[in-house]
Amino acid sequence: MILILRTDAGEEEIAEVVRRLEAEGLRAHVSRGVERTVVGVLGHDTERAYALAALPQVEQAVPVKHPYKLASREFHPDDTLVRVGEHVVFGGQQVVLMAGPCAVESEEQLMAAAESVARAGGTVLRGGAFKPRTSPYSFQGLGLKGLELLDQARRRYGLAIVTEAMDEEGLRAVAEVADMVQIGARNMQNFSLLRACGRIDKPILLKRGLSATIEEWLLAAEYIMAGGNHQVVLCERGIRTYETKTRNTLDLSAVPVIQHLSHLPIVVDPSHGTGSWQYVGPMARAGVAAGADGVIMEIHPNPSEALSDGPQSLNLPTFERLAAELKAVAQAIGRYI
């Protein structure tokens, strides 16, 4: 349930609503929007808050029909801005260009990719140090050494870095170094890891699970937010369908659906979404056109020698040409990269 306050409600009147809710054993989440202030009610028995509709500063009590609350548009009518590093903001006019190798493999490989990201006008460097591989015999990532290399690349090229944490131990190490922590598709419903993300003060890039519905995905975001960390960016990376010509089916309709249901920024990953570098460009352009707040792509100085996800990685010149096209698409819809 949310309580919509009158536009002239002052700070003391807002505080009174919060006190009254807490006295009922409920939790309040106050969202001061441009238009109006909304108090979201959290707890087991939110029905108890209906009585507060009688207060003069409360205009209306409205039930929230979704099981997620903090992630819902009702609780927070304005778009949420998520800051990453010193210069990057998700959820505003900027479309954030994020790219890098699937896995950090070597200093040479990472620096070449980072240089290309910077040259293309990208602001976030991706790269896995801990890799969730389908087979236990595949390359598992460089671990801490990979984090060190990401840190060096950040300093050399002035980029923010995002990298995946696969478990709670890895989360501690990643959160110390990275500007943004990625939670991968396979871990989208790892609830203890999500709770741990809720306790840290770093933005989270929450990828959609391989077979997750949008509601399950938003509930995963809710786990993080319920722990106190509201800096969540959602990432559509394709879902598993009956189609086999692509690795996954990139659900671009998730972009407007998420923007309708939630205030959280959403980015698109056309690399995992298609699995083939030839399809990455068209789907990246489509993602920007659909209104995504960013695009994340895999690139490699020599894709044929990549230790993971080579077939879906763009080489550097192709990526840089695509970046120029994405800028034009962004501009066409009143945004910029």
**Residues found near ligand PEP in the complex (CB under 6 A):** 102, 128, 132, 184-186, 207, 237, 272
* 102 vs 175, beta carbon nearer Mn ion: 102
Nearest CA-CA partner of 306 in 165, 164, 100: 100
Q: By CB under 5 A, is residue 166 in contact with Mn ion?
A: no
- In whole angstroms, the minimum distance from the beta carbon of 143 to ligand PEP comes to 15
Of 32 and 145, nearer to ligand PEP (C-beta) is 145
User: Is there a contact between 195 and 175 (Cβ–Cβ < 8 Å)?
Assistant: no
- 76-135 residues in contact with Mn ion (CB under 5 A) are 102
Q: Which two tokens stand for residue 259?
A: 């923007």
> Quick check: helix, strand or coil at residue 161?
strand
Total residues contacting Mn ion by CB under 5 A comes to 2
Tokens representing 284 are 């990246």
- Report in angstroms how near the CB of residue 22 gets to ligand PEP at its nearest: 39
Q: Find the helix or strand (DSSP H, E) in which 97 lies.
A: strand 96-100
Query: For residue 98, which amino acid is it?
Result: M
Q: In what order do the strands lie in the sheet with 37-42?
A: 27-32, 37-42, 2-5, 58-62
3-state helix, strand, coil in the chain (%, to 5): 40, 20, 40
The listed partner (ligand PEP, Mn ion, none) that binds 132, CB under 5 to 8 Å by sort, is: ligand PEP
Is position 309 an interface residue for Mn ion (rule: CB under 5 A)?
yes
CB of 237 to ligand PEP, least distance (A): 4
Nearer to Mn ion, 105 or 309 (CB): 309
**Nearest to Mn ion of 77, 310 (CB atom):** 310
Q: Which residue lies nearer to ligand PEP by CB, 83 or 186?
A: 186
Q: What is the DSSP letter of 313?
A: P
Residue closest to ligand PEP when measured from CB atoms: 184
Cβ–Cβ under 8 Å, residues 337 and 327: yes
Nearest distance from C-beta of residue 286 to Mn ion, angstroms: 20
Chain position whose Cβ is nearest to Mn ion: 102
Chain-centroid distance of CA 2 in Å reads 25
69 touches, from Mn ion, ligand PEP, none (C-beta below 5 to 8 Å by class):
none
CA 12, 74, 88, 107 torsion: positive or negative? positive
Cβ closer to ligand PEP: 57 or 116? 116
Nearest residue (CB) to ligand PEP, 49 versus 197: 197
CB of 93 to ligand PEP, least distance (A): 26
CB of 65 to ligand PEP, least distance (A): 29
Contact 193, 171 (CB under 8 A): yes
Cα 221 to Cα 232: distance, rounded to the nearest angstrom:
7
Where along the sequence are the contacts to Mn ion (CB under 5 A)? 102, 309
